[in-house]
Amino acid sequence: MKRILIIHTGGTISMKEDKETGEVNTSSKHPLEEISVLLKDHVEIDDDILFHLPSPHIRPDHMLKLGRFVHEKMAKKSYDGVVITHGTDTLEETAYFLDLFIQTRKPVVVTGAMRSSNEVGSDGLYNLLSAIRVASCDEAQDKGVLVVMNDEIHTAKNVTKTSTSNVATFQSPQYGPIGITTKNEVFFHHKMTRHDSYPIQSIGKRVSLIKAYAGMDGSLIDAVRESHVDGLIVEALGQGNLPPETVDALKRTLDDGIPVVLVSRCYQGIVQDTYGYPGGGRQLREMGIIFANGLTGPKARIKLMVALEMTTNMTELEHMFS
Kindly report the backbone phi and psi dihedral angles of residue 23, in degrees, each rounded to the nearest multiple of 5, phi listed first. Answer: -70, 135
Active-site annotation holder among 9, 12, 181, 296: 12
The tally of CA atoms less than 13 A away on the side-chain side of residue 207 is 27
Q: How far apart are alpha carbons 224 and 254 in whole angstroms?
A: 12
Q: How far apart are alpha carbons 121 and 37 in whole angstroms?
A: 22
- 12 tagged catalytic: yes
Give all strands (DSSP E) within 21-176, no chain letters.
24-26, 43-49, 81-85, 108-111, 145-149, 152-155, 160-161, 170-171
Q: Confirm if 298 and 304 have CB atoms less than 8 A apart.
A: no
Kindly report the backbone phi and psi dihedral angles of residue 49, in degrees, each rounded to the nearest multiple of 5, phi listed first. Answer: -105, 110
Q: Which residues are catalytic?
A: 12
